[in-house]
Structure 1
Amino acid sequence: MTNVYKTSLPLRTTEDPNPAVNAPLKAVKAGMGMVPNMYGAMANLPALLDTYSHGYGKFRAEAGFTPVEQEVVFLAISRFNGCHYCVAAHSFVGDMMSKVPTEITDAIRDGRPVPDAKLEALREFTHVMTESRGNPTPEQAKSFRAAGYTEEHILGIILAISVKVISNYSNHIFHTEIDPAFAGRAWKADV
């Protein structure tokens, strides 16, 4: 993509003199062993990082999806939004932490159907929700529910879309560099 805005704001660090910036970054580092570049970018507005972190945690803990399903949702949204950073990061998380089979993450990354019927229904409905801006047809919702999901899962997808809008759009305006930990799963959007 050419001629798109890039912010001049810096990546913030745990050494920042502002406690509203350094405290959440120190917490991230304590939990993850690193401060991903995305967090350093969002810390320029601590409320943005706080809102993202809160929603992300709530999605992980309360949306009713398995760890594999969570990565399917996050990857489908991030791919649709063309976020090179989040596709790489969630591919890494899927591979290393959630144990998502590579053929599933690679299918989503490549825009192909997932080779598991239930996960494909989840990927497809997440895509529909993102593309339609939350306006699926009754038939699309019925098909999603027929795959074994509930209306509460639809709300969980809305939560995930909200969280990914924060991270995907932040990464867009920062042109966030992929951290070395995620570099093996780098991805580039179709232009």
Structure 2
Amino acid sequence: MSRIPTPATIEDAPAAAHTSLNGVKASLGIVPNLYRLTANSPAALDGLLSLNGALGKGQLPAATRERIALAIANVNGCSYCNSAHSYIAANMLKLPEDEIIRARGGRASDAKADAAVGLARKIAIARGDVKDADIEAARAAGLSDGELVEIVGHVALNVFTNYLNEVFGTEIDFPVVTAERVAEPA
């Protein structure tokens, strides 16, 4: 049970969140607990959805974005996000199980995706304090400056959702996949 109420339905959420929650339902077919819990603050929900929507129009492929989400969930030990993104990766993006497992550890079989996911993981672990060599390696793998900026955006987005779920104990409404947690910054 979460530490704050999770509205059971869209109608139970604050009225100012109804339009956003209806948009989530139209997009996903359901309204996951994360969004219903976040609806306790319509402003936070709108911010979450706006950043997610904007980054979804970016240069990074959907599979790379999901890999980043999996890596960050496992840095932060967020089983809700690990469960949700494992489900999305497998069922919506059709990523093979071995790729999902790699992503949880900040890796990918594709060199460019590997560089993106690895950098995202380093950013999260080091709380942004990455080295020049990390950026140079990402560029050498073919990542553009725009993609590098988007990687930071995806880290921030996923840290936000990880923290929401960890702070409030959001009830997992996907098949449960327990996340690992990176203990200390590298």
TM-score range, shorter chain: 0.7 to 0.9
Who is 2:56 aligned against?
Answer: 60
- Distance, in Å, in 2 between the alignment partners of 1:112 and 1:165 is 15
- Report the Cα offset of residue 49 of structure 1: 0.8
1:85 aligns with 2:80: yes
- Distance, in Å, in 1 between the alignment partners of 2:178 and 2:87 is 11
Task: Work out the percentage of aligned pairs sharing the same amino acid.
Answer: 33
Equivalent residue pairs, number: 181
Q: 1:113 to 1:154 in 2, by over 3 A?
A: closer
Who is 1:189 aligned against?
Answer: 180
1:138-177 pair list within 5 angstroms: 138-177=132-171
- Distance, in Å, in 1 between the alignment partners of 2:13 and 2:68 is 36
Question: Where does the alignment leave 5 or more consecutive residues of structure 2 unmatched?
Answer: none
- Report the Cα offset of residue 147 of structure 1: 0.7
Question: Where does the alignment leave 5 or more consecutive residues of structure 1 unmatched?
Answer: 1-5
- One-letter amino acid matched to 1:140: D
Normalised to the residue count of structure 1, the TM-score between the two structures is 0.86
Who is 1:100 aligned against?
Answer: 95
1:132 aligns with 2:126: yes
- Report the Cα offset of residue 187 of structure 1: 2.2
In the TM superposition, structure 1's runs of 4+ consecutive aligned residues that sit over 6 Å from their partners are none
Who is 1:11 aligned against?
Answer: 6
Q: 1:126 to 1:8 in 2, by over 3 A?
A: closer
- Report the Cα offset of residue 47 of structure 1: 0.8
Normalised to the residue count of structure 2, the TM-score between the two structures is 0.88
- One-letter amino acid matched to 1:150: S
